[in-house]
Amino acid sequence: MEEFEEFEYKPKSVREIFIEMKDIAELMVDLAYTAILFGDRDIAEEVLDLEERMDLLSYHLMTHAVLAARNPREAEQITSVLQMANSVEDISNAAGDLAKMVLEGIALHPLIREAIMESEEVISRIQVAPNSVLVGKTLGEMRLASNTGVWIIAVRRGKRWIFAPDKEFKIKPNDILIGRGTHTSVEHLKEIARGVIRVIGNERA
């Protein structure tokens, strides 16, 4: 049986849990796609971390369901929610299987790689160094989307995930940004995040 002791429980509604499960599944698919395309072990590890989070959310959703079902009608409604949640978890498990292929060194068939490479956008993992110009600035201040062409779709801060951060989100040292953009734009943002480049757009650090 899986252990969940390390998780700091914060009360959430069934709706909140389900929304987070949906967001995680979408992110896992994007990350797994990128990990297997580029053989990126770091991104593959992120996928497996998210799969653990999904398992935990599924556990808490079932707990809520047991407590919420007070009569046959409510039990029937909760059952439909659990069926949808199971489908979302199946998607996350499939993404996890792709990530494991990367970690196990299983090569992608050339025809599949060629088809995937037709995509202009990639998803990438970008770690922010303490000396980066990004530190202490909000996404709105840095205007990353317009200045670099990379959209930040999620951030991992320690063990905490922030999905769809808004323009008021402030970047901290060692944040891991999950960004979507072209190969060139993503590599440019990585250099900024590492502190190699100290200029963004027309602004200087």
Give the CA distances from residue 21 to residues 5, 56, 181, in Å, rounded to whole numbers and listed in that order: 20, 10, 24
Band (pLDDT 50/70/90 cuts) for residue 175 is very high
- Kindly state the percentage of the chain with pLDDT values over 90: 38
Band (pLDDT 50/70/90 cuts) for residue 117 is low
Whether the per-residue pLDDT at 7 is higher than 50: the answer is no
How far is it, in rounded angstroms, from Cα 32 to Cα 8? 27
Residue 68, amino acid: A
Return the number of other C-beta atoms located less than 10 Å from residue 181's C-beta: 23
Whether the per-residue pLDDT at 156 is higher than 70: the answer is yes
Average pLDDT over residues 48-65: 89
Residue whose C-alpha is closest to residue 122's, from 38, 22, 28: 38
Whether the per-residue pLDDT at 110 is higher than 70: the answer is yes
Whether the per-residue pLDDT at 1 is higher than 50: the answer is no
**The tokens of 30 are what?**
């994007």
Question: Domains along the chain?
Answer: 14-110 (1.20.58.220), 120-204 (3.30.70.1450)
- pLDDT at site 129: 96
- pLDDT at site 109: 77
Residue of higher predicted confidence among 201 and 50: 50
